[in-house]
Amino acid sequence: MKIKLAIVCLAFVISSVAYAKENQLQSHKEIREVIEAFRLSIIEKNESKFDNLFYDKSIPWLGVLGHKRSGVLPSQLGINPGSYVQFISWIVSTEEKVEEKFWDIEILTDNEVASVHFKYSFHVDDYMSNWGDEAWHMIKTGDGWKISSVVYSVTKNPEPPPKKND
């Protein structure tokens, strides 16, 4: 009887682990789809697609500009609060081609909340204007994964953009 109970318990544990792993893989896939939608909505200048990626309009959006940080840290110098609404509004309003590229993407999740960290570079008309690290917090909602905070570092390109031919 003890052996049968042990086998049943072992089977339950194995199936639970397999189910959790399957959910983990599904969550990673869905989060990567949000990252790709973020990237494409910038290229396409699609404000409504971009807006749909966020939990609400009041989420934290903080840039840390290393070239402006000086003195004794911690300080507020070089911390640039903003909003995704301001960001996408600028993208939509500019006639320039804009793209953000991502790599070294790391996702940690328990299938309810997630932390996403990656390297990025930001390009305007094929000129890499800045780069750094970016981190998102995400939550799973009834409408899928939503970004609930964005924090990123900024290293500005020391080379000026190429002159435009008129």
- Residue 65: the pLDDT is 86
**Amino acid of residue 44:** E
Tally the domains of the chain.
1
The string of pLDDT tens digits covering residues 74-123 is 666 678 899 999 999 999 999 999 999 999 999 999 999 999 999 999 99
Q: Is residue 163 part of a domain?
A: no
Provide the pairing of β-strand 144-156 with 61-65: parallel
pLDDT-based confidence at residue 18 (cuts at 50, 70, 90): low
Helix axes 84-93, 2-44, angle to 10 degrees: 40
Range of the domain at 108: 2-156
132: β partners: 120
The single-letter DSSP state of residue 94 is: -
Q: Does the structure show a pLDDT above 90 at 28?
A: yes
- DSSP-derived 3-state class of residue 139: strand
- The per-residue pLDDT for range 135-165, each reduced to its tens digit, is 999 999 999 999 999 999 999 999 998 887 7
- Is residue 69 pLDDT above 60, yes or no? yes
Query: What is the predicted pLDDT for the residue at 8?
Result: 54
Asked whether residue 165 is domain-assigned, the answer is no
Kindly tell me the burial class for residue 78, based on how many C-beta atoms sit within 10 Å of its own C-beta (0-12, 13-18, 19 or more): middle
pLDDT value at residue 70: 64
Query: Does residue 164 belong to any structural domain of this protein?
Result: no
Does 161 map to a domain? no
Report the candidate in 100, 166, 152 with the shortest Cα–Cα distance to residue 128: 100
Determine, yes or no, domain membership for 145: yes
pLDDT confidence band for 22 (50 / 70 / 90): confident
We report the CATH number of the domain holding residue 29 as 3.10.450.50
CA torsion sign for 86, 91, 95, 101 is positive
76 within domain boundaries: yes
Distance CA 93, CA 82 (A): 17
Tokens 């397999």 — which residue? 18
Does residue 65 lie in a domain region? yes
pTM (predicted TM-score): 0.83
Q: Is residue 166 part of a domain?
A: no
